[in-house]
Structure 1
Amino acid sequence: MNRSRSSSAWLNEHVNDAYVQQARAAGYRSRAAYKLIEIDDKDHLIRPGEVIVDLGAAPGGWSQVAAQRMQGKSRVIAVDLLDMTPVRGVTFVQGDFREQEVLQQLEALLGGDRVGLVLSDMSPNISGISVCDQARVMHLAELSLDFARNWLKPEGAFLVKLFQGHGFTDFLQEMRRIFKTVASRKPDASRDRSPEVYLLGKTLKT
């Protein structure tokens, strides 16, 4: 399939996607909102009174869900390399999370407060070269895990997107070393052909 046909097929699939249509009707910025909704309905991650950090937040679907479910009773801090239209109840940091300066901005906003939930839906620009793309995904996941390990409350939770492939098993083992419970989640809003899977770690080991 040539490039134009591939692009047209993707656009047609996207426009006719039930979750895309549902997101538009509900005012969510992306279909990804329903991934977090499904996971939170099952695992009860978003709790009023906690600080939530949303890494890789743009265009803001997950931040919208988090802010709504927090009912204005705590803080959501979102980070992304891309710009993001403001979300009520969300503080946004624009920058590359791989850079120390951006991490320092995030830590300054926390002001020493521990985090109840770290969300990481970060994904690199996909090149189509699977080995390179997988390495970039794993690097972002490792950075988010390191942040979670340093800033989560003892009873906190960490939800991270990964692509199944090289490095996945090692990352899973590392999460099991850090968290008391680790589970995988593949929400219905994830397309069947997508290699993405979410790992959920709960309660830090002492």
Structure 2
Amino acid sequence: MLSRRVFRQLTDSVLLGPALNSACICCIASKCAPVSFCRAPQSLQIRTASSSSSTRWKSRQGRDHFAKEAKVQGLKSRAAFKLLEINEKHKLFKPGQTVVDLGYAPGSWSQVAVNRTAPNGRVIGIDIIPAQPPRGVSTIQGNFLSPAVQAEVRAYVQDPALGRPRKRTVISSAGSEEEQITEDELKEIERGYIDLERRTHLDGGGVESEGEAEPSSGMKEDRKLNMSRAKRDESQGRVVDVVLSDMSAPWEQTSGYNKRSISDPYFRMMNTSGMAFRDHAGSMDLCMAALKFCFDTLRTGGHFVCKFYQGAEEKALEKKLKRLFQKVHREKPESSRSESKEAYFVALRRNERPSEEEVFQE
């Protein structure tokens, strides 16, 4: 009869495949000592080592409260809770705003922005990675460090008709565009004469029955100043209310080439290299590109949120932000993992006066 040790070695050789047969048979033929073990082939060792990091990631995600909650709420990723926490504290969004989301993939920040700017808001996402955009988000794929891509984004946001939700046409007469009626117009037509009279009465009737005092000269001046500021912003192409930057320099795809889903590249490409200085330097380049975009497109009073990896150059970036914005805060949201080096600059209420030379001077 075969000894228990020899039987175990034969069983292992069958289970692990033909690649181990020769090694195990040689070991049995040479009557190796009981303490010795058959060595797995090098290819199997490499495959086991490469899968250990993904196993750790899956295990961590399974224990992560925010990852579970994001899945329950239908959010693209747990990063949505970072923006929700920042918005809860600093009140970034209002209905009808124009928001640009730099590095939007997979789209959780854009989901938050669409929800908080409804109705009539518009959200434009830019990313180098192809990803399925959330509903209500317009996207441009390209490297934001490219001047050509930045020019395309500026041209897109400066057209007020692009990226906004369109009103659905419910009635059309003979296919003529002039005679199409939207849902809002249909509701207005369906209101009866009594409803219109009641609304007029509740609103105060005509001009004579309103009894409102004429605005003071000071209020008139304030209105003129506000209008002139808005016009100045518009003339200079400043039409964006909030700029979000969650960009990280992506590293080369390492696996999953056989998968063809449009959202898979985001999960197959690394966002950090594991080298702190390299990640910090890459994030500073992206933050400076986002700040330059803010200077060109962000309207007076607008807000800017920027992710960065902590390092030696963050102080210089903070000084530039303080020249352009009234308030600058550093945030480390609760949903950001404690071991991560990421943090966020939250810059509030853009100033109108500073020139480009004053903001970007060293």
Short-chain TM bin: over 0.9
**Cα distance, 1:72 vs. partner?**
3.0
Q: What whole-Å deviation, never above 9, does each CA across 1:83-117 have from its counterpart, x for those lacking one?
A: 12132221100111011221122111112461110
Matches within 5 A, 1:85-164: 85-111=132-158, 112=237, 114-125=239-250, 126-164=272-310
Amino acid in the other structure paired with 1:105: E
Higher alpha-carbon Rg: 2
User: Aligned pair in 2 of structure 1 residues 22, 104: CA closer, same or farther (>3 Å)?
Assistant: same
Aligned ranges for residues 1-206 of structure 1 at < 5 Å? 4-111=51-158, 112=237, 114-125=239-250, 126-205=272-351, 206=353
Greater shift in the superposed pair: 152-161 or 102-111: 102-111
Q: Distance in 2 between matches of 1:113 and 1:150?
A: 6
Q: Which has the larger share of strand?
A: 1
Number of aligned residues: 205
Unaligned runs of 5+ in 2: 1-48, 159-236, 251-271, 354-362
Contact 1:56 1:80 in 2 (8 A): yes
Q: Which has the higher contact order (CA 8 A, sep 6+)?
A: 1
Contact 1:158–1:200 (Cα < 8 Å) also in 2: yes
Kept in 2: contact 1:23–1:30 (CA 8 A):
yes
Residue identity opposite 2:80 in structure 1: A
Counterpart of 1:62 in 2: which secondary structure? helix
Q: Mean alpha-carbon deviation: is it higher for 126-135 or for 195-204?
A: 126-135
1:96, 1:102 within 8 Å by CA — same for their partners in 2?
Answer: yes
Conserved in 2, the CA contact under 8 Å of 1:115 and 1:151?
A: yes
Distance of 1:43 and 1:57 partners within structure 2: 21
Residue in structure 1 matched with residue 37 of structure 2 by the alignment: none
> 1:15, 1:66 → 2: CA distance?
27
Q: Could you say which residue in structure 1 is the equivalent of 2:267?
A: none
Farther off after superposition, 146-155 or 52-61: 146-155
Q: Secondary structure at the match of 1:22?
A: helix
Counterpart Cα distance in 2 of 1:74 and 1:87:
14
Shift of 1:5: 3.4
| Separation in 2, partners of 1:37, 1:164 | 22
The amino acid that maps onto 1:49 is G
CA–CA distance in structure 1, aligned partners of residues 275 and 300 of structure 2? 38
- Could you tell me which runs of 5 or more consecutive residues in structure 1 were left unpaired when the two chains were aligned: none
Residue 329 of structure 2 aligns to a residue whose secondary structure is: strand
Q: Distance in 1 between matches of 2:344 and 2:96?
A: 24
**Aligned counterparts of 1:107 and 1:53: Cα–Cα separation in 2:** 10
**1:72–1:89 contact (8 Å) kept in structure 2:** no
Compare the two structures and name the one with the higher helix fraction.
Answer: 2
Superposed displacement of residue 202, structure 1: 1.1
SS of match in other structure, 2:134: coil
- Check the 8 A contact 2:110/2:137 in 1, yes or no: yes
Query: Scaled by the length of structure 1, what TM-score is found?
Result: 0.94
Distance (whole Å) between structure 1 residues aligned to residue 129 and residue 113 of structure 2: 19
CA–CA distance in structure 2, aligned partners of residues 113 and 151 of structure 1: 4
What is the percent sequence identity of the aligned residues? 38
- The RMSD of aligned alpha carbons is 1.4
